C-alpha cells in the first residue's frame, strides 16, 4: 500500500505542470471548505494541492500521501474512468468544463474508439458550508437499451493519523450495486473490486483506507438519462463523525461511507462519501447538461424509482 502511494505520488509530481492548468478550485459558504476539481470531474487540483480542504486548519483527507479521487462509468460492456493521478484516464473524451468561485460543471463521454457510448455530466455545488453535492446525469448513447453503472472512489488519509482510518457504512439502499473501503482500485465498472463492504454495512479498520460507491441502473433506453447526487463532506471544527453522519442523513442521503482518524486525544476528524436521489437542478444553460448551479441551502430531493438492496 505504501509502495503504491509512493509510486503514484511520483506520477503526480511529474505531471504537475500539465495538470495545474487543467483544474480549478471552488469554495463553499463562509470560506469553510475549498475543493479542487479537475476538468474531467475528479477531485484534486495539483496547482495549489487541494483535494477537499477544511480551511480553518488545512485538514484535507485527499491530499496526503498520494492524492487520488476519481470516477468511472459503463453502458453495456463499454466502460471508462477518470483517475488522472492513479491509474490514468481510460476511454474518456472531455466535452468541456466551467468554473465559478463556488460551483463548477464538467462534461464528457465514455468512448472506446467506436463512438460516444455514454455521456456523463457533473455539477458541483455546496449544500452546506462543509458539504458538497455532485449532481450526476448519465445519458445512454449506445444505440440500444442497456444497463448503466457509475463509480466514485478515492483514497483517504485523515490527519492527525494519516494512513490509519476507521471506515463505517450503513445498510445499502436505492440503486446501490456495491461499495468498498479501499480507494486504490479502478473506477471502470468493467474491473472487479475487492475489499467490498457487505450490503448490511459495518465498520472496518483501523488501516490505510478510502472508499468507493457503485450505482447501477437497469434497462435504460437509448437516449434516456438517469440523475442522482453524490456527496462529499468533512467534519467542521468540533463536529464528531456521528454528528457529520446525522447532518448528511438530514439532507436525505441514502447511503453514507464515513471515515475518521484514530487518535485518542485531541480532535477526531472525519470525512464522508455518500449518494442520494436526484436533486432539483436548473434547465440546461451551457455546454454541460446542468448549466449554472445555485450555491448554498438545502435543495429538495426528487424521489424516483429505486430498488432496495437487501
Name which of 94, 58, 75, 215 is nearest 146 in CA terms.
75
Q: Which domains does the chain have, with CATH numbers?
A: 2-277 (2.70.98)
Q: How many angstroms separate the CA atoms of 210 and 185, rounded?
A: 10
Q: What is the pTM (predicted TM-score) of this model?
A: 0.85
Reduced to 3 states, what is the DSSP secondary structure of residue 176?
Answer: strand
Averaged pLDDT score across all residues of the chain: 87
Cα 183 to Cα 53, 100, 269: the distances in Å are: 18, 28, 18
pLDDT above 90 for 79 = yes
The distance in angstroms from the start CA to the end CA of the chain is 32
pLDDT above 80 for 63 = yes
Place of cell 487520488: 68
Q: How many angstroms separate the CA atoms of 272 and 100, rounded?
A: 24
pLDDT above 70 for 295 = no
Q: How many angstroms separate the CA atoms of 81 and 74, rounded?
A: 9
Q: How many angstroms separate the CA atoms of 166 and 164, rounded?
A: 7
pLDDT above 90 for 285 = no
28 contacts 102 by C-beta, under 8 angstroms:
yes
Cα 89 to Cα 4, 11, 72: the distances in Å are: 18, 13, 9
157 contacts 61 by C-beta, under 8 angstroms:
yes
- At 84-123, the pLDDT tens digits run 999 999 999 999 999 999 999 999 999 999 999 999 999 9
Cα 240 to Cα 28, 63, 161, 204, 235: the distances in Å are: 20, 21, 16, 18, 7
Q: What is the mean pLDDT of residues 223-252?
A: 97
Place of cell 450555491: 295
Q: How many angstroms separate the CA atoms of 154 and 187, rounded?
A: 9
139 confidence band (pLDDT: 50, 70, 90): very high
Rounded percentage of the chain residues whose pLDDT exceeds 90: 80
Amino acid at each position: 500500500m505504501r509502495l503504491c502511494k509512493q509510486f503514484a505520488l511520483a506520477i503526480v509530481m511529474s505531471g504537475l505542470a500539465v495538470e495545474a492548468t487543467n483544474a480549478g478550485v471552488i469554495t463553499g459558504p463562509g470560506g469553510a471548505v475549498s475543493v479542487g476539481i479537475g476538468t474531467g470531474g475528479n477531485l484534486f487540483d495539483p496547482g495549489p494541492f487541494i483535494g477537499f480542504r477544511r480551511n480553518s486548519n488545512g485538514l484535507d483527507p485527499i491530499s496526503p500521501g498520494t492524492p487520488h479521487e476519481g470516477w468511472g462509468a459503463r453502458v453495456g460492456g463499454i466502460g471508462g474512468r477518470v483517475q488522472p493521478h492513479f491509474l490514468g484516464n481510460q476511454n474518456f473524451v472531455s466535452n468541456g468544463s466551467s468554473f465559478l468561485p463556488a460551483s463548477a460543471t464538467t462534461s464528457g463521454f465514455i468512448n472506446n474508439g467506436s463512438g460516444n457510448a455514454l455521456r456523463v455530466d457533473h455539477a458541483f455545488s455546496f449544500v452546506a458550508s462543509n458539504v458538497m453535492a455532485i449532481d450526476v446525469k448519465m445519458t445512454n448513447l449506445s444505440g440500444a437499451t442497456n444497463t448503466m453503472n457509475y463509480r466514485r472512489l478515492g483514497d483517504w488519509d485523515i490527519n492527525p493519523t494519516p494512513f490509519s482510518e476507521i471506515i463505517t457504512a450503513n445498510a445499502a439502499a436505492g440503486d446501490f450495486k456495491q461499495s468498498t473501503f479501499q480507494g486504490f482500485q479502478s473506477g471502470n465498472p468493467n474491473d472487479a473490486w475487492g475489499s467490498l463492504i457487505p450490503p448490511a454495512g459495518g465498520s472496518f479498520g483501523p488501516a490505510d483506507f478510502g472508499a468507493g460507491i457503485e450505482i447501477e441502473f437497469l434497462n435504460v433506453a437509448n437516449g434516456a438519462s438517469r440523475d442522482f447526487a453524490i456527496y462529499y463532506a468533512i467534519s467542521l471544527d468540533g463536529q464528531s463523525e456521528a454528528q457529520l453522519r446525522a447532518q448528511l442523513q438530514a439532507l436525505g442521503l441514502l447511503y453514507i461511507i464515513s471515515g475518521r482518524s484514530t487518535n485518542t486525544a485531541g480532535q477526531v476528524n472525519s470525512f464522508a462519501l455518500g449518494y442520494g436521489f436526484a436533486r432539483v437542478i436548473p434547465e440546461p444553460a451551457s455546454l454541460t447538461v446542468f448549466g449554472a448551479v445555485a450555491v448554498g441551502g438545502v435543495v429538495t430531493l426528487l424521489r424516483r424509482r429505486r430498488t432496495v438492496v437487501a
